[in-house]
Amino acid sequence: MTQKLIFSPETGVLSTDEKQITLTEQGRRCLVYFCLNEGQLISRETFTRDCWGSRGIIVSDATVRQTVFRLRRSLGELGVNDDILQTRGKAGYLLRPGVIILEQAGQEETVIEEETAEQRSPENLQPVLNKKATRSVIIPHINWRRASMLLGIILICGSVGFYYRFSGLITPIKYSVMREDKGRNFFVASWVNNKEVNSVIDRTSYWLARENLPTSDSRYIYINGVLNAYVFTMYCNAPIDDEGAKCRSLTILGKLHS
């Protein structure tokens, strides 16, 4: 009989009666997706699109396979059979139904609220005497309705001003081009000229090798922009959306030498 697992979608904690583990943020997202589609055969393209593409993130097949492998390894650490999360070749993935139970949020809070209400019943309340001397305080009359309306207007105006002041400074980056070269995966921002993509990747790869940058620390290269002789990049040891990824910025100024 297969052991049941309890999974918390909010915290990413996967547990049995004896032990528990905490998944990474990306692992948590993917397992939630599998649980919501348990018993269904999900193609690799659909899985990649819903777990990464829907958030504007482009990942390689290696990253997808690595994520599924880590999920399967986590299940194995809890003593669950490997066939719970199945890989069916090119057909895709399937999570066996009825094995992983999603934890329902709010159960503990309900118990606490009921106990608190019982403790606050009139029978359990004790009178509290204020031993300090009291004194008269004159409070001026305030038109709270007018004050709240004025405060609301101030907040709305401030929010609108803040939005127009800083909206131009926040631009999401979407990577639309990917190429593998010398053990590194290159991702290029969508606004980079398509005619320059290959030359920019070759130039970046050349300078990374020339500077003896370890491949283990720069397996994922993100090219964010090109301006004249400058190439603005960021290199990571793991996909940028992974919780444990370590990334650094790098600006390249130099030509490709043969």
Supply the pLDDT for residue 34. 92
Does 86 reside within a domain?
yes
Q: Enumerate the β-bridge partners of residue 157.
A: none
Neighbours of 157 (CB within 10 A): 10
Does 42 reside within a domain?
yes
Query: Can you tell me whether residue 227 is helix, strand or coil?
Result: strand
Q: Mark whether 16 and 98 lie in a shared domain.
A: yes
Does 109 reside within a domain?
no
pLDDT means per 10 residues in the chain (258 residues)?
81 88 91 92 92 88 90 85 82 89 61 43 47 50 74 77 57 76 88 83 86 87 83 89 87 70
- Residue 29, CA atoms < 13 Å, CB-side half-sphere: 16
Does 12 reside within a domain?
yes
Supply the pLDDT for residue 30. 92
Does 78 reside within a domain?
yes
Q: Please calculate the CA angle 163-164-167 and round it to the nearest 5 degrees.
A: 70
8 Å CB contact between 231 and 204? yes
Quote the domain boundaries for residue 247. Answer: 175-253
Supply the pLDDT for residue 13. 92
Supply the pLDDT for residue 138. 52
Does 157 reside within a domain?
no
Q: Which of 80, 102, 124 is the last residue of a domain?
A: 102
Residue 220 class from Cβ within 10 Å (0-12 exposed, 13-18 middle, 19+ buried)? Answer: buried
8 Å CB contact between 88 and 41? yes
Q: Mark whether 98 and 180 lie in a shared domain.
A: no
Does 127 reside within a domain?
no
What does the block give as tokens for 130?
């204020």
Q: How many domains does the chain have?
A: 2
Beta strands per DSSP E along the chain = 5-7, 13-15, 20-22, 85-87, 93-95, 100-102, 175-181, 184-189, 220-227, 230-236, 247-253
Query: pTM above the 0.95 mark?
Result: no
Q: Which of 64, 79, 102 is the last residue of a domain?
A: 102
* Domain CATH code at residue 78: 1.10.10.10
8 Å CB contact between 192 and 222? no
Does 166 reside within a domain?
no
Q: Which of 65, 86, 102 is the last residue of a domain?
A: 102
Supply the pLDDT for residue 67. 92
